[in-house]
Structure 1
Amino acid sequence: RDLRELAPLEAILFDIDGTLCDSDPFHFLAFRELLQEVGFNNGVPITEEFYSANISGWHNDALAGALFPELEHAKGMEFMDRKEALFRKLAAGELKGLDGLQELCTWIEGRNLKRAAVTNAPRANAELMLSLLGLTSFFPVLVIGSECERAKPSPDPYLKALDLIGASPDHTFIFEDSASGIRAGVAAGVAVVGLTTGNPEKVLRDAGASLLIEDFRDPKLMAVLQELDPAPADKQG
């Protein structure tokens, strides 16, 4: 889908993990430590490749069943809760926004564009990350996948965000870093810009990304924003 067809741009939706910030290294370390502790894979530490292919982007309900099919779901979720607590401990004070994030947020605010954060992360994680990034007040809406009827890769979280902020999918695009998130956005009828922070370009392209960028300073993104650029709020009217 050609992003230039979205004019006039109304809204931008953001995933959080791997999109606003490179949080995957902290998730990977937490999973590797705790999975080894419980004897997963015969105690052999998971690799980054395993993490990318089997864990990244999925919500905890699905992961609990996939990683521990032999356990009662409640036991699997107990593990996930421990993992999330370790993630928050590792990320606190270390988490940083992707290059160009603050400049992009200023650009969005200057044009009064609608926005929302949409994530499969637990609410405690999402709120911590937004706080660490100084973006709590930037996002008037935060949609949590597990609080919807279905999480990503279902379109439900993105459809809910569009409804809450009152934006049209034909004048909105999404920033995502995972295949499941991109599929969710595409299924919601929204164009998706894929960030190559943690997954191979082919995986993101095959999931349906309209454009791939390295970070928010990528010249390819700058070119699109210049074409879509509505007048700054103080120059409108």
Structure 2
Amino acid sequence: MIKNIKACIFDLDGTLVDSMWMWPEIDKEYLGRFGIEYDDNLKNEIDGISFHETAVYFKNKFGISDSIEKICKDWEDMAYDKYKNEVKEKRGCQKFLEQLKSKGIKMGIATSNKRSMVDVVLESLGMKNFFDVITTSDEVKKGKPAPDVYLTTANLLNVEPKHCLVFEDVVAGIIAGKSAGMKVCAVEDDFTREVRQRKKELSDYYIDDYSELL
């Protein structure tokens, strides 16, 4: 899988860390403050788009009067504690990162999450030092499924897209990686089990967890 690969670029939520479970909980609690009922289809509508883009979507879809900045801040406050104390790494993840580091393969993160959330969970799990570059969708023109966040990360790593391998757990992210001209390994996650077959069709490789790669 890593033959001719000079850099591995990882999505964060559902790929490096087991955190996708918490976002529907936050969405339900947040919408509940406004007397709005959560719809399970919502997660498919916001898959892959940036934190800021999601806030804009919520404001427009649900007619929320709060500013985009306040919506983002409220979500940050709700997520911070969970990232610091509850979120765990995906099985075999750190050992795989150690293996990549020993082979001299560069590593980056390309995520739709906010920088502050990325920092707190990586520091909590002791994983931050593995990564040479961290790029968020808020730092590029378009979030996933556009390729911007992956292309920017590859550029910062100084590695051509064709020599990059992406690890992703959602369809929008897999499309983003492929659109960037990179190989993509899809990662199993309970949150996206209903689109497992679609993930397998779109990606070059598929793993249940990182222990398969050790």
- Would the TM-score normalized by the shorter structure come out above 0.5? yes
Unpaired runs of 5+ residues, structure 1, are 223-237
Which one of the candidate residues 17, 21, 25 is aligned to 2:13? 17
Q: Give 1:81 shift.
A: 2.3
Q: Give 1:12 shift.
A: 0.6
Q: Give 1:74 shift.
A: 6.5
Which one of the candidate residues 47, 52, 74 is aligned to 1:82? 74
Amino acid at match of 2:12: I
Which one of the candidate residues 85, 88, 94 is aligned to 1:102? 94
Unpaired runs of 5+ residues, structure 2, are none
Which one of the candidate residues 203, 206, 209 is aligned to 1:212? 206
The 5 A counterparts of 1:17-166 are 17-40=13-36, 44-47=37-40, 50-69=41-60, 71=63, 75-166=67-158
Q: Hey, what's the Cα distance between the residues in 1 that align with 2:203 and 2:76?
A: 28
The count of residues paired between Structure 1 and Structure 2 equals 210
Matched, 1:203 2:198: yes
Match of 1:193 in 2: 185
- The 3-state SS of whatever aligns with 2:29 is helix
Amino acid at match of 1:53: N
- Whether contact under 8 Å (2:94, 2:127) holds in the other structure is no
User: Highest CA radius of gyration, 1 or 2?
Assistant: 1
Matched, 1:184 2:176: yes
